[in-house]
Amino acid sequence: MKKIFIVTGEPSGDKLASEVVKKLKEKYEQIEYRCVGGEYLNSLGIKSIFDLKDITHLAFTSVLLNIFKINKRINQTVNSILEFKPDILLSVDSPDFTLRVSERVKKKNYDIKTIHYVAPQVWVWREGRLKKFKKFLDHVLLLFKFEQKYFDKENISNTFVGHPLLEKKVSSKINLDNYFDNSKKIVSIFPGSRKSEIDILLPILLKSVVLINNKLKNLNFVFHATNETKDFIEKYLKETNIDNIDIISDPEIKFSTLSKSIFAISKSGTVSLEICNQNIPSIIIYKLNFINYFIIKSLVKIRFANIINIINDKEIIPELIQNECNPKEISNSVIYLLKNPKMVELMLNKIQKTLSNIKSQSSSTEEAAKVIMQNLS
In DSSP notation, 57-106 reads: --HHHHHHHTHHHHHHHHHHHHHHHHHH--SEEEEES-HHHHHHHHHHHH
* Half-sphere exposure of residue 15: CA atoms within 13 angstroms, side-chain side: 16
| Residues in contact with 270: Cβ distance below 8 Å, sequence separation at least 6, in sequence order | 12, 16, 165
Rounded Cα distance, 221 and 184, in Å: 9
At 335, the pLDDT band (50, 70, 90 cuts) reads very high
pLDDT digit string (tens) for 24-41?
999 888 999 999 999 999
How do residues 260-274 score in pLDDT, each as one tens digit?
A: 999 999 999 889 999
Task: State yes or no: pLDDT of 302 exceeds 70.
Answer: no
Distance CA 334, CA 330 (A): 6
Displacement of CA 292 from its chain's centroid (Å): 20
Chain centroid offset of residue 321 CA? 18
Domains of the chain listed by start with CATH number: 2-162+361-376 (3.40.50.2000), 176-358 (3.40.50.2000)
| pLDDT tens sequence across 118-176 | 998 876 656 778 899 999 999 999 998 889 999 999 999 999 999 888 876 666 678 88
pLDDT at 202 over 70: yes
Separation of alpha carbons 85 and 7, rounded Å = 14
> What is the DSSP secondary-structure string of 117-132?
ES---TTTS-TTHHHH
Q: Quick check: 318 and 284 in contact, CB under 8 A?
A: yes
Residue 337 pLDDT > 80: yes
pLDDT band for position 106 (50/70/90)?
very high
Model confidence at 61: pLDDT above 50: no
Task: Over range 229-233, report the average pLDDT.
Answer: 93
pLDDT value at position 124?
62
The amino acid that residue 48 corresponds to is S
What's the pTM?
0.78
pLDDT(70) > 50: yes
* Inter-residue contact 2 to 87 (CB < 8 Å): yes
Among 19-23, 156-160, 169-173, 315-319, the minimum mean pLDDT is found in 169-173
Strand, coil or helix: 320: strand
What is the Cα–Cα distance from 264 to 282, expressed in whole angstroms?
Answer: 5
SS3 category, 311: helix
DSSP SS3 for 175: coil
